[in-house]
Structure 1
């Protein structure tokens, strides 16, 4: 079958409810649907592993346990004779894990720009490790520049393969705004971490709500910022206009929540290739996004933009889209059109080609 990959062991640090794990899930499911042998190895079980239930039953899932030595020995066994695909989120992969994989045919995917966690020593360590891997995949041009310009990786090894979403499945699950509803739903889908900048989002929403009392904000996601954000909504006087959904992970629940909205908003300060924006595009929502390179790269003219920490500008942009149905419809149409370029089937074909090339060279 075209685009079928060799046997692959996917390595992730955690399998929490986040964008990286959603990318791994949809890619693994697409590859096994093509007949590939895919195994997912979770280095640390962590506290929230519910997204694992979205993996196809044909994907072999192993969570390493025991002492570090026992886990390293098991990792060696689980990667023998297979291409290894390491997924790099925040860059915290134990040096000994890297060491035991050094003789394996390895592909590393860098999912984000995490400059705030870098030091010269960390950059040197990652640059050295990259010399032993066969290929480095960056999920966006912004991440490629980070890998090459900041970390110092060999540019000939770094290729861009954008993330993908399950366009067909999203189409089947998508809902629509309730007919006759007088509210205009603004949707946010992101883990509640500081860099996602939900404080600015709430401030901007409060500013817009002062002019448009029919706005309603859906906050989908959980994380360490939740308590503070919930209190901020009360202080801003918008608590009754915000619905908190927590860490919803099942696609048959997330997609209807997103697709039945009118506007998608993200105030994130940095991203790699934001999967939630891709999902909102596939659902055909108008986009209001912080003006950062990955948002521009993926959304183009399907969004209106605001400076990431400028709540007043965000409020103006929300009112602009809310007040102009024609603009909202035009943005929604462009979203759906651009989403077709980010189908997981295209992503899986690129990955399968890279895995096959790496396996042949090993």
Structure 2
């Protein structure tokens, strides 16, 4: 079947989680003929470095023009030109984000959307400037089939759209083979706890700060914070009030550096009040890094029996669990072994196969 990924996310992200999701699908479809997916509509104009690396995208020659509105407008012109040339239309259009209204320039095509989470709809109080997912609702109602990255996200979707009557396929995410525990003789773990990702609102970073302040006098371990941008003024002030300014480091690592950070950490701490999937959980487990996870539905779904869980707002319980992972080598090794076993259930090949099933259901809907 001929499948087109629209250009929305590739016109928006030079790097990023959702664009990486579609790139992983593209690589599997290009390399596995058994999946019987022929990607159409490429190459496109893009700012995405990885799409260019695999030969599916090019940038405009004038750098300042490589912005989403310009790229999307130019890609629409290219698509119209292909239509005039009577190039075969795609059987399925897979929309990559929700910036624009559902694209109906291919009336003979079926339309698929991936739902990564319903957090802005469930917790609007955390999004003062409005829903960042823009026109997601219109895409949901226009879709011929929907992929959800977790059972949790599927339940959330149906709770908000109870009358939805299209096929919904759960397509759990995979994790790159670059995330691995490394050689057996790489030595002892490093002396730091690890936090990865955005920190605002429902991400609950404040609970981790409180927990770390409770145990800071009992351990020499530091806290390494990855991604999410530099600390905001309020965060820096809180860190100083807690007396932790010399114990907390913020890093913006490359992918290769992030892999090493996972391998060396005492554990990953993921205190989020809600997630649609929670990819750092998989990255940590694949790297042999124990995962301390808030007991929110998606994190429990992904972590299974390999995660060590705590109530999302209980900083004292979290501090106790962080100390146990630090001091109990046998316990830490048990969590590592469980994580490596658990992560074997997830792969991008499986994601691609389940998404291909979603395309088939869209065609037969």
TM range (shorter): 0.7 to 0.9
TM-score normalised by structure 2 residue count: 0.78
Larger radius of gyration: 2
- What is the CA-CA distance between 1:15 and the residue it aligns to? 1.6
Offset of residue 189 of structure 1? 1.2
Encode CA deviations 1:62-109: one digit per residue, 9 max, x unaligned.
765439876755566689722322235xxx5333x5565776421100
Give the stretch that moved more between structures: 58-67 or 21-30: 58-67
**Structure-to-structure mapping, 1:226-265, within 5 angstroms:** 226-246=232-252, 248=253, 250-265=254-269
**Residue of structure 2 in register with 1:210 after alignment:** 217
* Distance in 1 separating the partners of 2:266 and 2:323: 13
| Aligned equivalent of 1:6 | 2
Q: Describe the superposition over 1:189-227 as per-residue Cα deviations: whole angstroms up to 9, x where unpaired.
A: 112332222122122122122222x21211110237544
Unpaired runs of 5+ in structure 1?
Answer: none
Deviation at 1:54, TM superposition (A): 7.2
Q: What are the residue-to-residue correspondences of 1:145-164 with 2, within 5 Å?
A: 145-152=155-162, 154=164, 156-164=166-174
3-state DSSP of counterpart to 2:272: coil
Displacement of 1:256 = 1.4
Secondary structure of 2:174's partner? Answer: coil
The whole-number CA distance in structure 2 between the counterparts of 1:17 and 1:180 is 32
Tell me if the contact between 2:196 and 2:226 (Cα under 8 Å) persists in the aligned partners: yes
The question of 1:135 aligning with 2:145 is answered: yes
Q: In the aligned structure 1, how far is the partner of 2:42 from the partner of 2:223?
A: 35
Q: TM-score, normalised by structure 1?
A: 0.79
What stretches of structure 2 of length at least 5 have no aligned partner? 60-65
Secondary structure at the counterpart of residue 55 of structure 2: coil
Report the CA distance shift for 1:177/1:308 in structure 2 as closer, same or farther (over 3 A): farther
Distance 1:74 1:356 in 2: 27
- The 1:39/1:26 distance shift into structure 2, 3 A limit, reads farther
Separation in structure 1 between the aligned mates of residue 40 and residue 337 of structure 2, nearest angstrom? 36
**Equivalent residue, structure 2, for 1:85:** 94
Question: What is the DSSP-based 3-state SS (H/G/I as helix, E as strand, rest coil) of the residue aligned with 1:255?
Answer: helix
* RMSD value, Cα: 3.5
- The alignment partner of 1:81 has SS state of coil
In the TM superposition, residue 41 of structure 1 has moved relative to its aligned partner by: 9.5
Aligned-pair distance for 1:6?
A: 3.3
CA contact (8 A) 2:178 2:259 kept: no
Alignment size in residue pairs: 339
Query: What is the correspondence of 1:32-71 to structure 2 with a 5 Å cutoff?
Result: 32-34=30-32, 36-37=38-39, 52-53=49-50, 56-60=53-57, 64-66=68-70
Contact persistence 2:51–2:57 (CA under 8 A): no
Distance in 2 (alpha carbons) for counterparts of 1:110 and 1:240: 40
